[in-house]
A and B are shown apart, each in its own frame.
Chain A
Amino acid sequence: MKIKGKTCSFNYILGLVITSLVILIVLIGFFYTPYDPNKMNAALKNSPPSLSHLLGTDNFGRDILSRVMKGAGTTYIIAVAIVFIGALFGTIAGALTGYFGGWFDEVLMRFNDVLTSFPSILLALVFVSVFGPGTYNIVYALGIIFIPSYARMVRSEFIVLKERDFVKNAKLMGAGNFRIMFVHILPNTKRVLIPSLLIGFNNAVLAEAGLSYLGLGVQPPQASLGRMLSEAQSYMLDSPWCAIAPGLMIILTVLGFSLISGGLENE
């Protein structure tokens, strides 16, 4: 199938469809949810999906659809913030070290190597145990943890690109270093950077879900997909829909973005 001259694979289209669906649900959730996500209704505890509550209610009688809509929104905002911090500082660090090199580069790379040998959840747990749980803390923790991988990727791109002719031309024309780095070289890293932003988003969503599941992330009564899963666990036997709805939302989100990024890489 060809769109604008580019061949689109089935996976890519599927990814676009799934992602659009998911984003649509979240966007609507910002302005309207069928019920107040935090409103408890003891009478309707743990009721299965019905016409009035499309995805059923949880153990407090809260409407699951509304909670999923709001919760996914919370999860997404957190994930975007995390990727923003990681990519912004990582790119700057990678650009500087890749372009200028030198002993500073060597030191940073060794540092980077040691950091990446820590499993990232572990680093996040260290951060949380020192500074306490909470939404902002996990954004800072995970954001900082994401910096090394972006730095490494941008650095290797810069190392290759800085030897190219267009850089030499720019230097001859008198362009300053910073101008070369950010106006000339950086736009050429798009092909690698954009898929990694999508993958980063996925990893951030999964990491936030994991931390919130452990109780160390988003705190009640705020909803996030991970939190909903940990709340639903005790009721899995009787009311599985409490867990299936947020779980499915996570799966669709991550799947959608990874299909898109896979499609982008294949061009």
Chain B
Amino acid sequence: MKYTIKKCITLFISLFFASILTFTAFHIIPGDSALSALGMDATEEQLEEYREIMGLNKSFPERYADWLKNALKGDFGYSSQYQMRMRVSTLIKERLIVTLWLAVLSFMLIVLVSIPLGILSARKKNGILDSLISLVTQVFMSIPSFFLGMLITLIFGVILKWFTPGGYVSPGENFGLSLRFMVFPAIAVAIPKIAMMVKFLRSSLLGEMELDYVRTAKSKGMKNISILFKHILKNALIPVITFLAMMLADILAGTILVEQVFNLPGLGRLLVSSIANRDYAVVQAIILYIVSVVIIINFLVDLIYQWIDPRVRRN
């Protein structure tokens, strides 16, 4: 119980700190936003009026509190980069599904591929298969994800014509088609992470295999495979869970680049274009979203961790 409470406190402090950091970052930018919004011809009265309406005359903590209050209600203000005056929250809602879909698909791919490969690599330790997997892993960790995306587009999209580059379909419209398209960007995001996971899982499994309980089980006559699945795997997967949580942050970062390559209308592309267009309201909101998601998931993983591994609770 103490562990849970400690983690809850850390959660709120982290979220609070993250929000302050995000807010501060975008409000130390020099320049008068009233001037840039209304133009050089505006009179002093008009500028003053704008400042009043936008709340620019309030003190810094006040502005932060206002922003936070609105943010918790889901109101992030208005975007400045499009012709139509769009609410930031509308923009984000549209794009969120795409990014989420990509992240979930990538995550599933990572888990489905890396666990068997990791087990294989550990069982056939120092064999040809192991060395091969090792080398391939190293190579794939050296490929930038966006370049991988470009290669995938070239090979599977243009040459083999298994999908149409740039043809995104939302899962709501047509799930099958959406899957057929999205699996490729998901592969681009997943492959470098799979490489890291395989390496990590392999060393975790090998570490477990050295322990006494394995020798005990073998001497009692258990077959290697049974030992593997009934005992070792469960223990070796524990650190892997924290690694997966770290992966999540990486996956979200990976989607930013991959969305650019495959032209997906997701949060990542919105973020990049908003930065280029100096649409700070949007950038702030997206950053806060992503960071909060990462912090919350890490918190949940910490909770799950203590449920799985009783040793953590005792400390």
Note all chain A residues with C-beta closer than 8 A to B25.
126, 130
Of B22, B249, B295, which one neighbours A126 at CB under 8 angstroms?
B22
Given A114-B14, A126-B287, A240-B154, A254:B142 Cβ within 8 A = yes
Q: Is the CB of B142 within 8 A of A202?
A: yes
A113 vs B295: C-alpha distance when bound (angstroms):
10
Given A210-B257, A215-B276, A247-B150, A130:B290 Cβ within 8 A = no
Q: Is the CB of A119 within 8 A of B249?
A: yes
Q: Is the CB of A237 within 8 A of B158?
A: yes
Note all chain A residues with C-beta closer than 8 A to B29.
130
Note all chain A residues with C-beta closer than 8 A to B153.
236
Note all chain B residues with C-beta closer than 8 A to A150.
none
Q: Is the CB of B147 within 8 A of A129?
A: no
- What mask results when residues 6 to 47 of chain B are scored 1 for a CB within 8 Å of chain A, else 0? 000010011001100010011011000000000000000000
Q: Is the CB of B135 within 8 A of A251?
A: no
- What mask results when residues 246 to 267 of chain A are scored 1 for a CB within 8 Å of chain B, else 0? 0100111111001100100000
Q: Is the CB of B147 within 8 A of A247?
A: yes
Is B102 on the interface with A (CB-CB < 8 A)? no
A236 vs B262: C-alpha distance when bound (angstroms):
13
Closest to A206 in B: B144
Is B81 on the interface with A (CB-CB < 8 A)? no
Closest to B199 in A: A262
Is A218 on the interface with B (CB-CB < 8 A)? no
Note all chain A residues with C-beta closer than 8 A to B291.
117-118, 122
A179 vs B83: C-alpha distance when bound (angstroms):
62
Is B232 on the interface with A (CB-CB < 8 A)? no
Is B285 on the interface with A (CB-CB < 8 A)? no
Is A11 on the interface with B (CB-CB < 8 A)? yes
Q: Is the CB of B147 within 8 A of A250?
A: yes
The distance from the CB of A45 to the nearest CB of chain B, in whole angstroms, is 20
Is A161 on the interface with B (CB-CB < 8 A)? no
Closest to A244 in B: B151
By secondary structure, the B interface counts as: helix
Of A113, A120, A229, which one neighbours B146 at CB under 8 angstroms?
A229
Q: Is the CB of A262 within 8 A of B138?
A: yes
Total chain B interface residues with beta-carbon distance under 8 A: 47
Closest to B253 in A: A119
A120 vs B253: C-alpha distance when bound (angstroms):
8
A229 vs B260: C-alpha distance when bound (angstroms):
12
Q: Is the CB of A209 within 8 A of B144?
A: yes
Given A11-B135, A255-B138, A262-B138, A117:B249 Cβ within 8 A = yes
Closest to A247 in B: B147
A229 vs B144: C-alpha distance when bound (angstroms):
11
Is A69 on the interface with B (CB-CB < 8 A)? no
- What mask results when residues 126 to 142 of chain A are scored 1 for a CB within 8 Å of chain B, else 0? 10111000000000000
Q: Is the CB of B144 within 8 A of A119?
A: no
Note all chain B residues with C-beta closer than 8 A to A240.
154
Is B280 on the interface with A (CB-CB < 8 A)? yes
Is B98 on the interface with A (CB-CB < 8 A)? no
Q: Is the CB of A213 within 8 A of B294?
A: no
Note all chain A residues with C-beta closer than 8 A to B141.
254, 258
A128 vs B271: C-alpha distance when bound (angstroms):
12
List 19 additional A-B contacts (Cβ < 8 Å) besides A126-B287, A233-B261: A114-B17, A119-B290, A121-B256, A126-B283, A128-B275, A129-B26, A129-B274, A129-B275, A130-B28, A130-B29, A202-B142, A209-B144, A216-B272, A229-B147, A236-B154, A236-B158, A247-B143, A250-B143, A251-B147
- Interface residues, chain B, CB within 8 Å of chain A? 10, 13-14, 17-18, 22, 25-26, 28-29, 134-135, 138-139, 141-144, 146-147, 150-151, 153-154, 158, 249-250, 252-253, 256-257, 260-261, 271-272, 274-276, 278, 280, 283, 287, 290-291, 294-295, 298
- Interface residues, chain A, CB within 8 Å of chain B? 11, 110, 113-114, 117-122, 125-126, 128-130, 202, 206, 209-210, 213-216, 226, 229, 233, 236-237, 240, 243, 247, 250-255, 258-259, 262
Can you report 27 residue pairs joining A to B where beta carbons are below 8 Å apart? A113-B14, A114-B17, A114-B295, A117-B14, A119-B249, A119-B290, A121-B253, A122-B291, A125-B256, A125-B272, A128-B275, A129-B26, A129-B280, A130-B26, A213-B260, A214-B260, A214-B272, A215-B272, A236-B153, A237-B154, A247-B144, A250-B142, A250-B147, A251-B139, A253-B142, A254-B141, A254-B142
